[in-house]
Structure 1
Amino acid sequence: MLNLSIILEDSARAVPDRTALVYGDLRLPYAMVDSVANQVANLLVERGIGRGDKVALLCPNVPYFPFVYFGILKAGATVVPLNVLLQPREIAYHLDDSGAKALFCFEGTPELPTGARGREAADATEGCEHFFVLPATPLATESEYGESFWAALDGKSGEFETVGTGAEDVAAILYTSGTTGRPKGAELTHANLLLNTMVSDEMFPRDPEGDVSLAVLPLFHSFGQTSVMNVSLRRRATLVLVPRFEPGQALELMRGERVTMFAGVPTMYWAMLAKIHAGEAEVPASLQVAVSGAAACPVEVLKDFEATFGIPILEGYGLSETSPAACFNQLSRPTRPGTIGFPVWGVEMRLVDDDWNTVEGEGPGEIAVRGHNIMKGYHGRPEETAEVLRDGWFRTGDIATRDEEGYYSIVDRTKDMIIRGGFNIYPRELEEVLMTHPAVSLVAVVGVPHGSHGEEVKAYVIPSPGSAVTEAELVDWCRENMAAYKYPRIVEFCESLPMTATGKILKRELRRSRADVG
Structure 2
Amino acid sequence: MVSLLDPVRLHADAAPRSVAIRGAREHISYEGLLESSLRFASILNAQGVAPGERVVLIAPSVPAYVVAYLGIQAAGCVVVPMNTMSTSEEVSYVLRDAQASLVIAWHEASAPARKAAAADGPPVVTLVHGMWEALPLAAPVDRDPDDTAAILYTSGTTGRPKGAELTVANILSAAQISVECSNGTPDDRIGTGLPLFHIFGQISVMMASLTTGSSLHLVAPFTPEAMIDAIRTHRLTIVAGVPTMWNAMLRSSKGEDGSGFGHIRLAVSGGAPLPAPVAQAFESRFGCELLEGYGLTETTSQGTFNGQGGIRKTGSAGRPVPRTAVEVRSETGSPLDPGEVGEVYISGPSVMKGYWRRPEATAQALVDGWLRTGDLGMVDQDGDLFIVDRLKDLIIRGGYNVYPGEVEEILYEHPHIVEAAVVGVPDEHYGQEVAAVIVLDRPAAVTGPEITAWARERMSAYKIPRLVRFVEALPKGPSGKILKRTIDTNRFRQPASQPEQAE
Residue 349 of structure 1 aligns with which residue? Answer: 326
Paired residues of 1:85 and 1:484 also in contact (CA < 8 A)? no
Residue 231 of structure 2 corresponds to residue 238 of structure 1: no
- Counterpart for residue 449 of structure 2: none
**Residue 88 (structure 1) aligns with:** 88
Paired residue secondary structure (2:345): strand
**Aligned letter for 2:183?**
P
Q: Distance in 2 between matches of 1:493 and 1:60?
A: 34
CA pair 277-28 structure 1, distance change in 2 beyond 3 A: closer
CA distance in 2, matches of 1:494, 1:292: 32
8 Å Cα contact 1:85/1:485 also seen in 2:
no
- Are 1:119 and 2:114 matched, yes or no? yes
Any residues of structure 2 matched to 1:93-492 within 5 Å, and which? 93-108=93-108, 114-124=109-119, 126-128=120-122, 130-135=123-128, 138-139=129-130, 150=131, 153-154=132-133, 156-177=134-155, 180-206=158-184, 210-275=187-252, 279=256, 282-331=259-308, 333-416=310-393, 449-451=437-439, 488=486, 492=490
Contact kept? 1:251, 1:281, Cα under 8 Å: no
Deviation digits for residues 372-405 of structure 1 (CA, Å, limit 9, x no counterpart): 0110000000001111111101100001011111
Q: Distance in 2 between matches of 1:315 and 1:293?
A: 6
- 1:449 positional shift: 3.6
In the other structure, the counterpart of 1:468 is: none
Q: Secondary structure at the match of 1:118?
A: helix
Secondary structure of the 2:178 match is: helix
2:185/2:213 contact within 8 Å kept: no
For each residue in 1:243-288, what CA deviation from the matched residue of structure 2 results, as whole angstroms up to 9, or x when unmatched?
Answer: 2110011101111011111110011111111225873774422211
Name the amino acid aligned to 1:355: T
- Mapped to 2, the partners of 1:278 and 1:177 lie a distance apart of 33
Check the 8 A contact 1:22/1:28 in 2, yes or no. yes
**Alpha-carbon distance, 1:27 to partner:** 2.3
Following TM superposition, by how much is the alpha carbon of 1:416 offset from its aligned partner in structure 2, in angstroms? 4.4
Shift of 1:205: 2.9
Q: How many percent identity over aligned positions?
A: 35
SS at match of 2:326: strand
**CA deviation string 1:114-142 (max 9, x = no partner):** 22111111223x352x211013xx55xxx
CA change 1:301–1:348 in 2 (3 A) is: same
Change (3 A) 1:334 1:269: same
Q: Distance in 2 between matches of 1:179 and 1:20?
A: 36
- Secondary structure of the 1:100 match is coil
Shift in Å at residue 336 of structure 1?
1.9
What are the Cα deviations for residues 303-335 of structure 1, in whole angstroms up to 9, with x where unaligned?
112222222211010000000111110126322
* Alpha-carbon spacing, 1:489–1:327, altered in 2? closer, same or farther (3 Å): closer
Q: Distance in 2 between matches of 1:301 and 1:310?
A: 13
Aligned to 1:457: none
Q: Does 1:38 align with 2:38?
A: yes
Change over 3 Å in CA distance of 1:357–1:12 after alignment to 2? same
Query: 1:451-486 CA deviation, whole Å, 9 max, x = no partner?
Result: 489xxxxxxxxxxxxxxxxxxxxxxxx99xxx9996
Say which SS state the counterpart of residue 244 (structure 2) adopts.
helix
Letter in 2 for 1:169: D
Q: Distance in 2 between matches of 1:53 and 1:168?
A: 15
Letter in 2 for 1:205: N
Number of matched residues? Answer: 427
State the shift of 1:180 in Å: 4.1
Specify the SS of the correspondent of 2:101: strand
The Cα of 1:159 is off from its aligned counterpart by: 4.1
Letter in 1 for 2:182: F
Aligned residue identity for 2:166: L
Does residue 71 (structure 1) correspond to residue 49 (structure 2)? The answer is no
Report the Cα offset of residue 491 of structure 1.
7.5
More displaced, 483-492 or 20-29? 483-492
Shift in Å at residue 179 of structure 1? Answer: 6.7
Determine the C-alpha separation between the residues in 1 that align with 2:501 and 2:306: 31
8 Å Cα contact 1:20/1:239 also seen in 2: yes
Secondary structure at the residue paired with 1:415? helix
Residues 271, 481 of structure 2: 8 Å contact kept:
no
Paired residues of 2:318 and 2:385 also in contact (CA < 8 A): yes
- Give how far 1:64 is off: 1.2
Change (3 A) 1:448 1:30: farther
Q: TM-score, normalised by structure 1?
A: 0.76
The alpha carbon displacement at 1:203 in A equals 1.5
C-alpha spacing 1:275/1:48, structure 2 compared with 1 (3 Å): same
Match of 1:4 in 2: 4
Deviation by residue 1:70-100 (Cα, 9 ceiling, x = unmatched): 0111111100000111111011111111111
Counterpart Cα distance in 2 of 1:233 and 1:40 = 18
Residue 446 of structure 2 corresponds to none
Superposed CA offset, 1:475-514 (max 9, x none): xxx99xxx99969575746999xxxxxxxxxxxxxxxxxx
Give the partner amino acid of 2:106.
F
Q: TM-score, normalised by structure 2?
A: 0.78
Distance apart, 1:340 and its partner CA: 0.4
Deviations 1:158-186 (A, max 9, x none): 34321111111001001104574211100
Structure 1: state its 5+ residue gaps: 109-113, 140-149, 428-443, 454-477, 497-514
Q: Is the 8 A contact 1:276 1:283 kept in 2?
A: no
Alpha carbons 2:261, 2:288 under 8 Å: kept: no
> What amino acid does structure 1 have at the position aligned with 2:112?
R
Matched residue, 1:467: none
Find the residue that maps to 2:252 and give its secondary structure.
Answer: helix
SS at match of 2:110: helix
Distance 1:352-1:484 versus aligned 2 partners, 3 A rule = closer
Work out the CA distance in 2 between the residues paired with 1:485 and 1:302: 17
Matched to 2:113, the amino acid is: G
Q: State the SS of the aligned residue for 1:203.
A: helix
AA of the residue aligned to 1:338: G
1:382-431 deviation per Cα after TM superposition (whole angstroms, max 9, x unaligned): 001111111101100001011111111011211249999xxxx9x9xxxx
